[in-house]
């Protein structure tokens, strides 16, 4: 994806108020993020451990989503799979993130959930640039490009649900 500035990111959020978007914590290392290897920018809020954010480019414009996840994770022996990049992680490596819907539906309290890598590094797992600690990825017959297309397709389908 193209690199984003702080202002791009703050203006991109579709499911929180302008005030929230103005105040939320952005990554401090925007200049050093591996943009060429990212299908979306994801980060956890250092000040609010139950929050994370992602920004993805759609139709040439950045679209940001605020996510929440439960701070208490399920059993540590449990392994789960990220529904975007299909990487499996033990314990808290995958979290059920929930996103408030956009617009009126969101203000009325509707949200959509998604099991996702807690560190939001799906783009790097798909490219083999980051290796899950003790989880893994299945041997697949798909090429890396096909896996990237699948992960971005999965994310796009999730975003579509926020507008319904």
Q: Which residues bind Zn ion (CB under 5 A)?
A: 82, 84-85, 87, 117, 122
Q: 43 pairs with which residues across the strands?
A: 53
Shortest-Cβ-distance residue relative to Zn ion = 82
- Of 10 and 127, nearer to Zn ion (C-beta) is 127
Residue written as token pair 């600690």? 133
Residue 34 has which token pair?
């591996």
Residue 11 CB, shortest distance to Zn ion, in Å, is 26
- Of 81 and 162, nearer to Zn ion (C-beta) is 81
Residue 71 CB, shortest distance to Zn ion, in Å, is 19
Residue 155 CB, shortest distance to Zn ion, in Å, is 10
- Of 21 and 80, nearer to Zn ion (C-beta) is 80
Residue 16 CB, shortest distance to Zn ion, in Å, is 22
For 48, 66, 82, 122, 131, the CA distances from 70, given in Å and listed in that order, are 11, 14, 16, 19, 24
Residue 139 has which token pair?
């041997």
Strands 87-90 and 61-68: unpaired
């Amino acid at each position: 994806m193209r690199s984003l500035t702080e202002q791009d990111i703050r203006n991109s959020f579709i499911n929180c108020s302008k005030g929230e978007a103005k105040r939320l914590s952005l990554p401090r290392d925007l200049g050093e993020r591996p943009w060429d290897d990212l299908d979306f920018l994801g980060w956890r809020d250092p000040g609010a451990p139950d929050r994370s954010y992602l920004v993805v480019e759609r139709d040439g414009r950045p679209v940001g989503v605020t996510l929440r996840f439960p701070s208490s994770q399920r059993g540590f022996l449990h392994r789960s799979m990220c529904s975007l990049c299909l990487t499996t992680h033990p314990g808290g490596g995958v979290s059920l993130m929930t996103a408030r819907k956009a617009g009126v539906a969101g203000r009325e309290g509707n949200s959509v959930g998604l099991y996702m890598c807690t560190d939001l590094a799906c783009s790097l797992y798909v490219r083999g640039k980051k290796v899950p600690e003790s989880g893994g990825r299945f041997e697949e017959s798909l090429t890396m490009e096909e896996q990237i297309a699948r992960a971005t397709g999965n994310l796009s389908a999730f975003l579509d649900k926020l507008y319904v």
